Amino acid sequence: MQSEGSCNLEPQYLTLDRLSWPELRDHMAEGTDLVLIPVGSTEQHGPNGSFAVDTGRADGFVTRLAERMYPRALAVPALPYSLSPHHMNFPGTVTLTPGTFLAVLEEVVDSLYRHGFRKFFFANGHGGNRPALALLMGQLREDYPDIKASWASFTSVASDVVMQGIESDTHGHACEGEMSQAMYLAPWTVKEDRVPGDVLEEDNEFVLRGAISPALKFDEITANGALGDASKASWEFGRDIIETALDRVEEYLDTF
């Protein structure tokens, strides 16, 4: 029940799929100059989450960022397909080739560039996209010398918060960190019966530390598709990770 004089205010943010072209034109004339591009994936997340965990997290992050940066920032629809060849032995995963992935992202930028935008930020929700996004930054800089472009995996932006809260010895996919973020950003992607990852044994210390990266499919690492213990996930942990990442990304983009 609301107290006297209170009201429910709808959050204010600009997202392309809710605007008409005259509305967008007017917002650009009034100073909207930064495009936020969420990049997700359609891949398995073990028994713990749906195929939309990464896309839902990326979209939720960008929506919250656009709300914080209203009216300067414009959120565009999330890209739901990206680089997941290592998950293809789990039914339902969809992957693009690296060339297709890079071409799609550059053509999204090119389209919006032709409409007058010069500042682009990619919010990445899938670890497998990182090498390609690093390559994309160099390509955009080469092809569009007058733009500013940057990307971040928001989990990495708040990695200190993640590591402080992780209890599992192994983590990294459909785990307590990722599923906590999903509970906060996209709860519809989270499965109620969350279980620990069924991790296969690995004896080489350099592989365990990540110093050596063998060519392995994900089902050669974990039998059920998860790394970590999603049963330990919580909305509160997700909030702490995401709000910290939002603070840091917003501070960066304020001078972008």
What element of type H or E holds 28?
Answer: helix 21-29
Band (pLDDT 50/70/90 cuts) for residue 9 is low
Which domains are assigned to the chain? 14-253 (3.40.50.10310)
Note if the bond before 71 is cis, omega within 30 degrees: yes
Contacts of residue 103, Cβ cutoff 8 Å, sequence gap at least 6: none
Handedness of CA 5, 6, 7, 12 (dihedral sign): positive
What per-residue confidence (pLDDT) applies to 203?
65
pLDDT tens readout for residues 140-185 = 999 999 999 999 999 999 999 999 999 988 899 999 999 999 999 9
Contact between 111 and 93 (Cβ < 8 Å) = no
> Letter for the amino acid at 34?
L
What per-residue confidence (pLDDT) applies to 202?
67
Could you tell me which residue, 132 or 204, shows the higher pLDDT? 132
Q: What is the pTM of this model?
A: 0.94
- 14-23 long-range contacts, Cβ below 8 Å, gap at least 24? 14/66, 14/70, 14/71, 14/73, 14/74, 14/75, 15/63, 15/66, 15/74, 15/75, 15/76, 15/77, 16/74, 16/75, 16/76, 16/77, 17/76, 17/77
What per-residue confidence (pLDDT) applies to 82?
98
Contact between 124 and 133 (Cβ < 8 Å) = yes
pLDDT tens readout for residues 198-248 = 888 766 665 656 688 888 899 999 999 999 999 999 999 999 999 999 999
